[in-house]
């Protein structure tokens, strides 16, 4: 087991919750509560991703909704946080779990198929294989991903992109209801009629809003399926991936495909012809007949693959097409969206697709993932052309560091074609929430407001958390000494702007320039460029976290709010970012000059 320890409790926690309290909670649960020192402690705190070292206060192995309610109430009473977890496939992007009870749903694996209504009700701990098989037996397919043992709930709350994604869309947009326990310990059923805001938020907003106890998904009648993979020697990677890319530009939405490079590890559970070998591979699923499928892949067959498994298949076969590891592994990976995939991007991808990375894949997006609909959740649509994910094994911290660097090299090589947005489920490192959504300002701010309503104290710990919106009023701003002397009109403008940008009242009024523009530099949380008429841009910098905000007021009226999306000073913005801001807010440069600051290129 890599880098795990006994997870001793921190002293501040001992003040908040005594061992006696935790033992009392244990006695109240139908399921189990595992505490540090218990013999099963290390097993219980292990995530599917074995490279992640989880050290919560306690692990609740919940077996009922009542268990979840009791654990949430206990956390509320003792100032603890709750991290819901199904499998731990997504554990690498979780924050530290100190002061947190890890709520494992793995004992809640019930699945009910309602063939008449074409719906499945799936308990929170179910894996995709728990659903795919009974659904297929009743003549249905579900929108699962590449791996049979990924959790249905975690996958779906983050979007959920599977083999039918171009024909049927993201799994999150096929959710018909969610059962959830809120931070107040209230059990609610969310659907389009009941708590529609929260229902919208969880479908793409991740685990920030409550503990999901069950999810209801639409089932689709099983279509004819033609699927498989073609393998070529690694030396042909550039040529094959370029041909695959050209092919993707011609195929209908019924085809979902992946171009990848795979360095099979020399492990005994890898089948003999592949063990220790490297290949360039095209995997695809076509929703249609064998004859039509054969015609569609003919162009790829002309490339004379060394192995070709394409055939008419049963829906259960799709779970194994991607050859994901069948058991927990220690992994380090990350992904990005690509606007386009020109030959140069393929060149950069191939050049960096080397060990210690094991699998590097590019999936084609578009089709149903790109078409919006009124009923969609917060994930909305994915508008990039492709998505890339690279991963390697990380059995110890030294190798993990090398894999991180290798992933960084792949990402840097593809940076010229990267989208501003990134995919929730393929972001295995923490990402600023606003990068995960379409119409970022609107979606992200709406998610923040919903979080503020339902979990203002941030009880829930999730990967890619949504920070609650901050309510700002003039009284609150006026109470900050630096703003105390502002005229009422300016206070109001400031409150309005800060509310829109959702930042804390700041610390410093910098200057009022000769033209009446006031520039405030404010220690801030997160925001974007917001003009008087609404959002001006989705991003002004390349980073993930936010640093400072400049609020421009002209004659007491806000003209714009500018935020650097990196921890750097606005005044040290890179040239392209500076130009971008300037394009949106012409007064920006003048305001800086009025501060006695010169623009300098880097
Ligand atoms: C091998 C592998 C293959 C993958 N293939 C795909 C793929 O094809 N398509 C795709 O889109 N993604 C894929 N993913 C990414 C995967 O969807 C995410 O890692 C997802 O978060 C996993 O969900 P989980 O429940 O298994 O993991 P967990 O780590 O248990 O959960 C991830 C997060 O989901 C939230 N969550 C889980 N359960 C609950 C709950 N009951 N209540 C509230 N919040 C909850 C929590 O915030 C949690 O931190 C893959 C990942 C791996 C490792």
- For 300-343, write each residue's pLDDT tens digit: 999 999 999 999 999 999 999 999 988 999 999 999 999 999 99
Average pLDDT over residues 94-119: 96
The pLDDT confidence band at residue 263, using thresholds 50, 70 and 90, is: very high
Q: Rounded to the nearest whole angstrom, what is the distance from the C-alpha of residue 525 to the centroid of ligand 1?
A: 27
What is the per-residue pLDDT for 145?
97
- Is residue 401 predicted with pLDDT exceeding 70? yes
Q: Please indicate whether residue 322, judged by its CB atom, sits closer than 6 Å to ligand 1.
A: no
Nearest CA to ligand 1 atom 5: 146
- Is residue 560 predicted with pLDDT exceeding 80? no
Q: Which two tokens stand for residue 214?
A: 């069950």
- Is residue 536 predicted with pLDDT exceeding 80? no
The pLDDT confidence band at residue 430, using thresholds 50, 70 and 90, is: confident
The pLDDT confidence band at residue 217, using thresholds 50, 70 and 90, is: very high
Dihedral of alpha carbons 154, 155, 157, 158, sign? positive
199 three-class SS: helix
41-58 pLDDT, tens digit per residue, is 999 999 999 999 999 999
Lowest mean pLDDT among 171-180, 188-197, 273-282, 310-319: 273-282
What is the per-residue pLDDT for 572?
37
Between the CA of residue 192 and those of 159, 372, 551, what are the distances in Å?
18, 17, 38
59-101 pLDDT, tens digit per residue, is 999 999 999 999 999 999 999 999 999 999 999 999 899 999 9
Dihedral of alpha carbons 423, 429, 433, 434, sign? negative
What is the per-residue pLDDT for 437?
80
- Is residue 439 predicted with pLDDT exceeding 60? no
140 three-class SS: strand
Q: What letter does residue 453 receive in the DSSP assignment?
A: H
What is the per-residue pLDDT for 576?
53
Q: Please indicate whether residue 153, judged by its CB atom, sits closer than 6 Å to ligand 1.
A: yes
Q: Please indicate whether residue 206, judged by its CB atom, sits closer than 6 Å to ligand 1.
A: yes
The pLDDT confidence band at residue 270, using thresholds 50, 70 and 90, is: confident
Q: Please indicate whether residue 146, judged by its CB atom, sits closer than 6 Å to ligand 1.
A: yes
What is the per-residue pLDDT for 446?
86
Phi-psi region of 468 (alpha: psi -120 to 50; beta: other; left: phi over 0): beta
Unique residue bearing structure tokens 């685990």: 207
What is the per-residue pLDDT for 508?
32
Lowest mean pLDDT among 149-163, 344-358, 421-435: 421-435
Q: From 275, 284, 273, 340, select the one nearest 307 (Cα to Cα).
A: 273
Nearest CA to ligand 1 atom 28: 88
Task: Using the atom order of ligand 1, give the atom closest to the CA of residue 149.
Answer: 26
C-alpha–C-alpha distance, residues 191 and 219, integer Å: 16
C-alpha–C-alpha distance, residues 563 and 372, integer Å: 29
Distant-in-sequence, close-in-space partners of 96: CB < 8 Å, separation ≥ 6: 55
What is the per-residue pLDDT for 86?
98
459-473 pLDDT, tens digit per residue, is 999 999 998 876 666
- Is residue 528 predicted with pLDDT exceeding 70? no
Cβ–Cβ < 8 Å for 366, 166: yes
What letters, b where the CB count within 10 A reaches 16 and e where it falls short, cover 384-418? bbbbbbbbbbbeeeebbebbbebbebbbebbeebb
Ligand 1 pocket test target in 46, 154, 188, 335 with most atoms within 8 Å of CB: 154
Q: Which two tokens stand for residue 109?
A: 């694996």
Q: Please indicate whether residue 385, judged by its CB atom, sits closer than 6 Å to ligand 1.
A: no
Cβ–Cβ < 8 Å for 472, 499: yes
C-alpha–C-alpha distance, residues 113 and 134, integer Å: 7
Q: Rounded to the nearest whole angstrom, what is the distance from the C-alpha of residue 151 to the centroid of ligand 1?
A: 6
Lowest mean pLDDT among 297-306, 409-418, 498-507: 498-507
Task: Using the atom order of ligand 1, give the atom closest to the CA of residue 88.
Answer: 29
Lowest mean pLDDT among 117-126, 231-240, 481-490, 561-570: 561-570
Lowest mean pLDDT among 117-126, 174-183, 524-533: 524-533
Helices (H) and strands (E) in the chain, counts: 17, 25
What is the per-residue pLDDT for 503?
41
Q: Please indicate whether residue 448, judged by its CB atom, sits closer than 6 Å to ligand 1.
A: no
Neighbours of 326 (CB within 10 A): 11
Which helix or strand (DSSP H or E) is residue 123 part of?
A: strand 119-123
Q: Rounded to the nearest whole angstrom, what is the distance from the C-alpha of residue 280 to the centroid of ligand 1?
A: 27
Q: Please indicate whether residue 60, judged by its CB atom, sits closer than 6 Å to ligand 1.
A: no
Q: Please indicate whether residue 352, judged by its CB atom, sits closer than 6 Å to ligand 1.
A: no
Q: Which two tokens stand for residue 35?
A: 């505490």
Unique residue bearing structure tokens 């793995």: 106
Q: Please indicate whether residue 84, judged by its CB atom, sits closer than 6 Å to ligand 1.
A: yes
Which helix or strand (DSSP H or E) is residue 348 part of?
A: helix 343-352
Distant-in-sequence, close-in-space partners of 197: CB < 8 Å, separation ≥ 6: 446, 450, 453
Q: Which residues pair with 113 in a beta bridge?
A: 120
Nearest CA to ligand 1 atom 3: 147
The pLDDT confidence band at residue 490, using thresholds 50, 70 and 90, is: low
The pLDDT confidence band at residue 25, using thresholds 50, 70 and 90, is: very high
Nearest CA to ligand 1 atom 44: 207
C-alpha–C-alpha distance, residues 380 and 219, integer Å: 20
Average pLDDT over residues 362-380: 94
Percent of the chain with pLDDT over 90: 67
Q: Please indicate whether residue 212, judged by its CB atom, sits closer than 6 Å to ligand 1.
A: yes
Q: Rounded to the nearest whole angstrom, what is the distance from the C-alpha of residue 55 to the centroid of ligand 1?
A: 19
Between the CA of residue 466 and those of 92, 421, 458, 471, what are the distances in Å?
17, 15, 9, 15
C-alpha–C-alpha distance, residues 339 and 341, integer Å: 7
The pLDDT confidence band at residue 558, using thresholds 50, 70 and 90, is: very low
Q: Rounded to the nearest whole angstrom, what is the distance from the C-alpha of residue 154 to the centroid of ligand 1?
A: 4
Q: Rounded to the nearest whole angstrom, what is the distance from the C-alpha of residue 354 to the centroid of ligand 1?
A: 26
Task: Using the atom order of ligand 1, give the atom closest to the CA of residue 152.
Answer: 25
- 134 vs 531, residue with greater confidence: 134
Average pLDDT taken over every residue of the chain: 82
Beta-sheet pairing, 58-61 with 100-104: parallel
Average pLDDT over residues 150-155: 98
């Amino acid at each position: 087991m890599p880098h795990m320890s006994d997870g001793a409790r921190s002293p501040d926690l001992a003040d908040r919750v005594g061992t006696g309290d935790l033992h009392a909670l244990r006695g109240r649960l139908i399921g189990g509560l595992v505490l540090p020192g218990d013999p099963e402690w290390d097993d219980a705190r292990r995530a599917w991703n074995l490279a992640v070292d989880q050290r919560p206060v306690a692990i609740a192995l919940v077996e009922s909704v009542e268990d979840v309610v009791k654990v949430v109430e206990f956390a509320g009473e003792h100032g603890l946080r709750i991290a819901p977890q199904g499998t731990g496939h997504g554990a690498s992007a979780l924050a530290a779990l100190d002061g947190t009870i890890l709520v494992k749903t793995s004992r809640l694996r019930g699945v009910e198929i309602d063939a008449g209504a074409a719906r499945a009700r799936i308990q929170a701990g179910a894996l995709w294989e728990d659903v795919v098989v009974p659904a297929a037996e009743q003549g249905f397919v579900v929108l699962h991903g590449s791996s049979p043992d990924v959790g249905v709930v975690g996958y779906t709350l983050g979007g959920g992109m599977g083999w039918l994604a171009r024909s049927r869309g993201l799994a999150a947009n096929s959710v018909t209801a969610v059962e959830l326990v809120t931070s107040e310990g209230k059990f609610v059923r969310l659907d389009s009629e009941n708590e529609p805001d929260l229902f919208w938020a969880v479908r793409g907003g991740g685990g920030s809003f409550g503990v999901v106890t069950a999810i209801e998904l639409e089932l689709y009648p099983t279509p004819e399926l033609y699927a498989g993979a073609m393998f070529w020697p690694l030396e042909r990677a550039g040529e094959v991936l370029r041909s695959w890319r050209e092919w993707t530009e011609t195929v209908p939405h019924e085809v979902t495909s992946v171009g990848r490079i795979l360095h099979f590890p020399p492990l005994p559970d890898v089948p003999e012809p592949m063990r220790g070998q490297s290949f360039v591979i095209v995997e695809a699923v076509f929703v249609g007949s064998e004859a039509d499928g054969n015609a569609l892949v003919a162009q790829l067959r002309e490339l004379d693959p060394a192995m070709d498994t394409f055939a008419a298949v049963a829906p259960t076969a799709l779970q194994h097409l991607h050859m994901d590891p069948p058991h927990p592994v220690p992994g380090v990976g990350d992904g990005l969206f690509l606007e386009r995939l020109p030959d140069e991007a393929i060149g950069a991808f191939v050049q960096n697709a080397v060990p210690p990375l094991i699998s590097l894949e590019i999936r084609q997006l578009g089709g149903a993932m790109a078409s919006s609909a009124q009923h969609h959740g917060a994930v909305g649509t994915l508008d990039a052309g492709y998505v890339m994910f690279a991963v390697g094994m990380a059995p110890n911290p030294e190798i993990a560091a090398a894999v991180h660097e290798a992933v960084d090299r792949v990402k840097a090589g593809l940076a010229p074609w990267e989208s501003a947005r990134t995919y929730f489920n393929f972001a295995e490192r923490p990402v600023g929430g606003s990068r995960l959504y379409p119409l970022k300002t609107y979606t992200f701010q709406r998610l923040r407001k919903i979080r503020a309503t339902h979990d203002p104290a941030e009880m829930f710990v999730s990967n890619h958390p949504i920070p609650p919106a901050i309510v700002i009023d003039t009284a609150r701003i006026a109470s900050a000494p630096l703003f105390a002397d502002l005229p009422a009109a300016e206070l109001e403008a400031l409150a309005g702007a800060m509310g829109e940008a959702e930042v804390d009242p700041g610390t410093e009024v910098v200057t009022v320039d000769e033209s009446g523009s006031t520039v405030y530099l404010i220690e801030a949380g997160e925001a974007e460029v917001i003009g008087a008429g609404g959002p001006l841009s989705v991003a002004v910098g390349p980073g993930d976290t936010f640093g400072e905000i400049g609020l421009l007021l002209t004659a007491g009226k806000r003209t714009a709010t500018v935020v650097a999306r990196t921890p750097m000073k606005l005044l040290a913005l890179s040239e392209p970012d500076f130009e971008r801001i300037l394009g949106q807010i012409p007064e920006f440069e003048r305001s800086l000059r009025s501060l006695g600051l010169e623009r300098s290129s880097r």
